[in-house]
Structure 1
């Protein structure tokens, strides 16, 4: 494992880490391993994963003492937040922690618990994971009150054999009151990786958080994003593009939980599938009774470039309040034949026409992010290579 972080990262106090993990142990022992009978896993073939080949069997919950042997990190590293604040962060996470098997597994098996203090204009965090061993990450990104920041998070896996291997990740983003956060989350995964990842967003009063997700590669991926808008005036926006090919399966669940008046959420996600790949998107807006002036929107656009590729969209709404504005929409389709033939009639080749239409489909999402032009070009190049070949 090789980490390179320009964020101000430090390891949580070992005593607090031990206390936090011990507090989860009782719940962990009651959480069942997921099956396709569970709603969130009904499209994910978890029962067919060959755990013997993976080299790690998560169905066996007696996998050593999960709360011990964590690496305290560099003991010379000065903590950037007080122990009181560290405990406050862990308590906040625990208050909203989903009872998800792989979330608990990631926390309890991660070598350490670290916090990245994101209090400047720009932060780059990269995580490169080597080898075939199962790996577990628990990463906390904390944005203090009133800070405005951009964060670029890159996660990459590399290995030399063709055996399947496992990555389980739990990422937490905490945006304190009046903060403005923009996150570019990019995954570059090898073709033999089985990934379970949960992204957890906690946005407080008047916080504005934008999360852009661009995943590439992988074999099987189950991906959750759960956002809690905790304070009045909070705003969370999630967008991105899945570009998958070959035999890849990506199954995504996104949930927006509104807890306060005058909160705003938006999900706008695109998927492009080719070869024999399969993409599943499930979105949910959850608004309890008695909330006022809530605005929530979700949309899912899916483009298939091959008859053997599949894309599914499952928008949901759980709205129990009346003074709200909620909308949702979804599309699944192939390249527009009328547009395709129009481009052919203008002298473009079939390959050029296809490339132009695909680029137009995802280009708007890339151009909407607030990062530099080189970063945008790199994202576009990665998508283009996967879907229509190199330029």
Structure 2
């Protein structure tokens, strides 16, 4: 594994990591591999996975992996703040088997303190062994920053391999943050990833999710708007080809008055690929002045490709404004024939309409133009290169 280590990066002290894992162990050790009967995995083919090929035994009792190597990095965050972050994680820990696997088997916790300006974090790895990650991204109070998280995997054999990831983002009071989360995964990777977001008072967060590649991927996003005035916006584009499956669950949980959230996600599927999007807005009783929106747009380029959208609302408060919507369809025939009538070829017309579908999302990103152009290139290559 290669990782770009910046001055903002350190590895959590082993003693503190072990104390944290042990404090959760009684809650986690009894969790079992989910089945397709469970709502979150009803579209994910867990039953067909050859776990032996992945080098992982889900029937084995979970234990805590210890790391005997001494870390040379020094904490850039106070122990008091570290304890507060770990307490937040404990209080809002997803009850998910693969999140538990990441926590107990990671062997280390990578912590990134993201200051003003751009923080670029690149992770790349290759190999046949199962891999488990636990990472924390911390943004201090009043910080205005961009975070570019770029993950890349390469694989030299035809066998499948496994990765589980647990990522935690903590945005302190009055922070203004834009996160670009970009995955470039090899076609033999099965990944289970959970992302938890904590947005405190008046924090303004934009999270852009662009997952490319992989064979099977299950992604959970749990956003907690903890403080008054917190705002969280999530968007992104999935482009799928071949037999790729991506199953996304995104949740916005409002905990305070005067909070706002939005999910706006797009998927494009071709060949025999399959995309599943499930969104959930959770607003408990007695909250006031909450605004929450959710939308999912899906474009199919092949009759054998599938895209599904499952919007959900759990709204128990009255003084709120909530909307949701979803579309699943093919290229608009009227627009297609109009472009043909203007002299464009079928290939040019199709390309233009597909680009228009995802282009607005890509260009809304506040990152450098070169990054946006590269994202567009990645999407085009996936959709044109699929057989």
TM-score class, shorter-chain normalisation, is over 0.9
1:334/1:119 CA distance change after superposition, 3 Å: same
User: How far has the Cα of 1:87 moved from its partner?
Assistant: 1.4
- The 8 Å contact of residues 55 and 134 in structure 1, kept in 2 or not, is answered as yes
User: How far has the Cα of 1:60 moved from its partner?
Assistant: 2.1
2:298 matched residue in structure 1: 302
CA–CA separation in structure 2 for the residues paired with 1:59 and 1:335: 45
| TM-score, normalised by the number of residues in structure 2 | 0.98
SS of alignment partner, residue 178 of structure 1: coil
Indicate yes or no: 2:149 matched with 1:153. yes
CA–CA separation in structure 1 for the residues paired with 2:273 and 2:70: 39
1:214-238 superposed Cα distances (whole Å, 9 cap, x missing partner): 0111111010000000000000000
1:289 matched residue in structure 2: 285
2:321 matched residue in structure 1: 325
Give the CA RMSD over aligned residues: 1.2
* Of 169, 173, 184, the match for 1:188: 184
1:44 matched residue in structure 2: 44
1:273/1:15 CA distance change after superposition, 3 Å: same
| TM-score, normalised by the number of residues in structure 1 | 0.97
2:16 matched residue in structure 1: 16
Mean Cα displacement is larger for which, 8-17 or 276-285? 8-17
User: How far has the Cα of 1:58 moved from its partner?
Assistant: 2.4
2:34 matched residue in structure 1: 34
- The 8 Å contact of residues 289 and 321 in structure 1, kept in 2 or not, is answered as yes
Structure 1 residue runs without a partner (length 5+):
none
1:209 matched residue in structure 2: 205
User: How far has the Cα of 1:99 moved from its partner?
Assistant: 1.2
CA–CA separation in structure 2 for the residues paired with 1:31 and 1:284: 23
Indicate yes or no: 2:216 matched with 1:199. no
- The 8 Å contact of residues 7 and 125 in structure 1, kept in 2 or not, is answered as no
Indicate yes or no: 2:368 matched with 1:372. yes
Indicate yes or no: 2:94 matched with 1:70. no
Alignment of 1:108-119 (within 5 A): 108-119=104-115
SS of alignment partner, residue 126 of structure 1: strand
User: How far has the Cα of 1:7 moved from its partner?
Assistant: 5.8
1:329/1:71 CA distance change after superposition, 3 Å: farther
CA–CA separation in structure 2 for the residues paired with 1:41 and 1:68: 27
SS of alignment partner, residue 340 of structure 1: helix
User: How far has the Cα of 1:72 moved from its partner?
Assistant: 5.1
Structure 2 residue runs without a partner (length 5+):
none
